[in-house]
Amino acid sequence: MKAESIVFAIAGSLFGLIVGWILGAQQAIGTNRATPPPAVQQAAAANPAANPGTPPAAPLDEGRAQAMRNVAEQNPRDAQPRVQLGNMYFDAERYTDAISWYEEAIKLAPSDPNLSTDLGVAYYYTNQPDKAVAQFERSLSVDPKHSKTLLNLGIVKAFGKQDLNGAAQAWQQVVALAPNSPEGQAAKKALEGLQTAHPTTPPGPGSE
């Protein structure tokens, strides 16, 4: 599953930057909202250790990709080679190509929440937050307790939609479902950032 690319994109110490971004979010309307704010991108580049889930883009192995395309053509009912191609293109940051293969795969495996969420992440990275949210909701229709999907949903709602209440609700669900998981810890930090910047945002579970 490739969704960790967003799950940890603003994890760890980078969540401290949420506050400053949210306070200036109203000025960002009309700009490229689907991309994480520049402060987050710069911090990630300057401090890779704080961003362990997002490795540098892997150069695409064209020979391997062609071989996998041949496998996909020979197995028109098999989702897995298409998933692998989607992952390869995603890792190479060729998100439009990744979307094409993920969309083919999900036609063959419509009940796979991991695949559905990977597709939603790729939509987000191609500046399509509405499609990303809709895809995450499809993932949750299959598995309502899919914590990575819920965490990603909150990130896209916050950064792509400026829907802070919606983001908080998604992150609260993550904390309730898996408080000690990496996703739960990231959601707690995100909620703390929202509360600091916007005290009127619904508090997280266990808050006073």
- The model's pLDDT over 98-121, given as tens digits with 9 standing for 90+, comes to 999 999 999 999 999 999 999 999
Q: Is the pLDDT of residue 169 over 50?
A: yes
Q: What pLDDT does 159 receive?
A: 85
How much of the chain, in percent, has pLDDT values that exceed 70?
Answer: 67
CATH architecture of 4-56+112-197: Alpha Horseshoe (1.25)
d(CA 4, CA 198): 27
As a whole number, mean pLDDT of residues 62-70 equals 96
Reported as a pLDDT band with limits 50, 70 and 90, residue 13 is very low
As a whole number, the mean pLDDT across the chain is: 77
Reported as a pLDDT band with limits 50, 70 and 90, residue 130 is very high
Q: What pLDDT does 57 receive?
A: 75
Q: Is the pLDDT of residue 129 over 50?
A: yes
Q: Is the pLDDT of residue 2 over 80?
A: no
Q: What pLDDT does 204 receive?
A: 56
Long-range CB pairs of 129-135, under 8 A, 24+ apart, other chains included = 129/33, 129/34, 129/156, 129/160, 129/161, 130/161, 132/34, 132/156, 132/160, 133/157, 133/160, 133/161
pTM of the predicted model as reported, rounded to 2 decimal places = 0.76
Q: Is the pLDDT of residue 10 over 80?
A: no
- List the chain domain ranges: 4-56+112-197
| Close Cβ partners of 173 (under 8 Å, ≥ 6 residues apart) | 150
pLDDT tens, residue by residue, 40-50: 333 333 333 33
Q: What pLDDT does 199 receive?
A: 65
Q: Is the pLDDT of residue 188 over 80?
A: yes
Q: What pLDDT does 28 receive?
A: 35
Mapped to the 3 state alphabet, what secondary structure does 15-81 carry? Answer: HHHHHHHHHCHHHHCCCCCCCCCHHHHHHHHHCHHHCCCCCCCCCCCHHHHHHHHHHHHHCCCCCHH
How much of the chain, in percent, has pLDDT values that exceed 90?
Answer: 52
- Nearest partner of 104 among 72, 135, 132, judged by Cα: 72
Residue with more model confidence, 126 or 206: 126
Beta carbons of 1 and 148 less than 8 angstroms apart: yes
